[in-house]
Structures are given as structure tokens and as C-alpha cells.
Structure 1
Amino acid sequence: MKTLKTSFLLLALGVALGGCASNLSSSEKLAIYQAHAGAPVKDFRYFSSISWTPLGDQALAVWTKPNEAWLLDLTGRCIDLDYAPAISLSNMFGRVSAKFDSVRVIGGANSHFRIPCRIDTIRPLDVKALKAAEKELREAKIVEREAEKTG
């Protein structure tokens, strides 16, 4: 029963996080994530991710716990990352390492022929501050739209 409750909570969190940034552009999301990322680290512990957030074609955030996420900057463009239904991360003994591991886009046309996207840097995200910043930006956009309607 506890596993079912935990799974439901993680699924709900993933849906909520995905919806939080849905009305922001990729460049706005990337800027917010970069502003709330810590110093680069060598690697992070990875057994599975709760969810992931594409941030353009050269970065993504991977959520490993409800309050733990990592900003992954890639060495170049990762084709179809913004539209991928799924990704996988290479890892060695449950650790994803910068410069060695890769992101693989799964699904879509030609997915078997895609070259994995090498991870350049890994930075921990301040999840609490990130959520607050996204909320603040969304609210500012709502106020801006309301002002445009009345003005």
C-alpha cells in the first residue's frame, strides 16, 4: 500500500511540475533553471527519474526525487529533445557523470538512428526556489495579459 501511495504522489508531482512551466517559452524556462542551479558537480546518484523537463535542445532538468533535480547541459544540440515522449540516461553503477554519460531521445521518427547527446555539465537545482520563480513569472504574465485586455 505504501508503494502505491508513493507512486501516486510521484506521478502527481511529475504532472504538477510539467504543468507549472507549460506557459513559459523554452528560453524563459532555461533562464529560470540556470538562475537556480548550483555549482557544477561531477555526478549524481541515479536509479530512475520521476520526470524530466526539456529546456530547449541543449539542456534538460531531471527530477530524481520530489525535491531533488539536476540541470544537465549538453555538449551540443540534442535533436527532438523538446518533442521526445521519453529519454534514457546512461549511467555507471547508478551514477550519471558529466563528460562521460549521455541522454538518449526515445520515440519518434528515426529514434534508432539518433546519436546519444553527451552530458557536458551537471548542476543541482534549488527546487523550492525554482518553483517559486516559475510561479512568480506565470503570475506576472497573467497581470500583463489582463493589462493588455483593459488597455
Structure 2
Amino acid sequence: MKTPQLILLAATLTLSACASLHSEPKAAATSQYTPYVGEPVREIDYTRFHNWDKVDDRTVVVWTKPSQAYLLTLQSACWDLSGREMVAVDGFGGRLRAGTDSIIAGRMRCRIKTIQPIDLARMKAARG
């Protein structure tokens, strides 16, 4: 093999290794909710958020009631979610809509791509 081909092969293997290292924590964090996530819904009602959890830079779980949670997938990475105590939404009239409304974290406005209900009762039962 020629030297340029060896360098290209080494670079490809290095990038592949880095990608798999970074995707494993994301996959593990998302997988805790995946078995309990329902079909996407167009919109949800809320009066306030009781809690929220950053799954990764494109996925957030919000609790609209202590017994009701939703997985929000964002259209792009929302870097300002890191380390924030609170997020806000720009939903209007107590409704949060996929495709039009956003999560606001710091100075970033991150559009919501999908909203999926999480079956918390089933999740709690499975964890014992």
C-alpha cells in the first residue's frame, strides 16, 4: 500500500472510532426512554413544566405534570441546553406545537421537530 492510502485508512479508522465513542453515551441516554415512547403527536397542552431532562443536544424530556412527560426531538443541536437550570418554550396559549414552537435555552431558540408522549407508568413498573 502506498503512504497516502495508509494515511487515509488511518484517518478513516480514527474518525470511525471517535464517532462510535461519542454515539454510545447518546444512545444509552436515549434508550432509557425509547421503549416507553409513543407515536408522535402534533401538539400538547401545558400550564407549566414541572421538570425537564436533557437527553442529548437534540433531545429533551419535559414533564407537564408529575405523571405526564414528553420526549421532544429538536430540529438541530441546541448547545445552550448544557448546564442550564431552566428552559422556556415559545408555545402560545398553553399549547406546544411540533414544527412551529421552540425550546429556549440561554440565547438559543431551538425548534421542536417532534413531540412524543412517554408512558411513565409502564416505565416505572419496568424499573420495579
Mark yes or no: TM-score above 0.5: yes
The 5-angstrom pairing of residues 37-116 of structure 1 reads: 37-105=37-105, 111=106, 114-116=107-109
Q: Which residue of 2 aligns with 1:19?
A: none
**Alpha carbons 2:30, 2:55 under 8 Å: kept:** yes
Q: Which residue of 1 aligns with 2:114?
A: 121
State the structure with more CA Rg.
2
1:128 CA drift (Å):
1.6
1:121 CA drift (Å):
0.2
Gaps of 5+ in 2: 1-24
Measured in 2, the distance between the counterparts of 1:129 and 1:29 equals: 18
1:36 CA drift (Å):
1.1
- Residues paired across the two proteins, number: 104
Which structure shows the bigger proportion of residues in strand conformation?
2
CA RMSD of superposed structures (Å): 1.6
The list of structure 1 runs, each at least 4 consecutive aligned residues, that deviate by more than 4 angstroms after superposition, is none
What is the aligned counterpart of 2:124 among 122, 125, 131?
A: 131
Give the TM-score, by structure 2 length: 0.74
Q: Percent identity?
A: 34
1:132 CA drift (Å):
4.1
**Alpha carbons 2:63, 2:70 under 8 Å: kept:** yes
**Alpha carbons 2:80, 2:108 under 8 Å: kept:** no
**Alpha carbons 1:60, 1:73 under 8 Å: kept:** yes
Measured in 1, the distance between the counterparts of 2:36 and 2:46 equals: 21
**Alpha carbons 1:46, 1:91 under 8 Å: kept:** no
Give the TM-score, by structure 1 length: 0.63
**Alpha carbons 1:40, 1:121 under 8 Å: kept:** yes
Gaps of 5+ in 1: 1-24, 106-110, 137-151
